[in-house]
Structure 1
């Protein structure tokens, strides 16, 4: 049951992405192709070339053309943020046990002493 709910949520999230929303417009593409085929008797490849790759004929249906998929992509999205009203829903146990250690922390010798490479150095004994 949990997997089904997860799959439903994944489907809802993915289908809300603008790229996948364009596939909902495929019936409009088919209807518009049927309109062009009745008026101008064009093939489907010619129809796609006319609307996506080439010059569209002047048939006064530019508003209908802009309803086709991938002609106009909107980037609007809806984000839902859940903020719980109660800040402390459950307690997290925290035990701060700091013990004193006699181990000296490691010091890095990656950086040399700049006094060794200075022009004026103190005299060596």
Structure 2
């Protein structure tokens, strides 16, 4: 019993989402061939298939009936994509950046703030 359920769903999916449901129209193909054989008893099944599937002739008096044949029209246009994602774990390593400060000072250079010590002095008693 457990095996029948997946087969049923696979068959249902296949018939609904692909053009294989056209195979269910095979009795229409056989019946239409018999109709043509009644009109022309010398017609073979191969010549019947060539006439209806290979030759793109103008619509005749049984054009509507011809369009009911399997694989004459596209009934199912479906695009399905399956995406399988494999679960995986990623580790991110923390990398710490270090900066090196470089100063390019000339030996004869004196900063402005060093000269300000001489200007700002506490008041003196006179």
| TM-score between the two structures when normalised by the length of structure 2 | 0.55
8 Å contact 2:15–2:21 — kept in the other structure?
yes
Q: Which runs of 5+ in 2 are unaligned?
A: 79-92, 96-103, 105-126
- CA RMSD in angstroms comes to 2.8
- What's the secondary structure of 1:2's corresponding residue? coil
Q: Distance in 2 between matches of 1:75 and 1:43?
A: 31
1:18 CA drift (Å): 3.5
Residue of structure 1 in register with 2:10 after alignment: 10
Residue of structure 2 in register with 1:65 after alignment: 66
1:1-125 aligned within 5 A = 1-40=1-40, 41-56=42-57, 59-75=60-76, 105=93
Q: Which runs of 5+ in 1 are unaligned?
A: 78-104, 108-122
Aligned length in residues: 84
List structure 1 segments (4+ residues) > 2 angstroms apart after TM superposition. Answer: 55-59
Residue 24 and residue 62 in structure 1: after superposition, are their counterparts in 2 closer, same or farther (change >3 A)? same
8 Å contact 2:23–2:70 — kept in the other structure?
yes
- What's the secondary structure of 1:70's corresponding residue? coil
8 Å contact 1:29–1:69 — kept in the other structure?
yes
1:19 CA drift (Å): 1.1
1:75 CA drift (Å): 2.1
Q: Which has the larger radius of gyration?
A: 2
Q: Distance in 2 between matches of 1:34 and 1:71?
A: 18
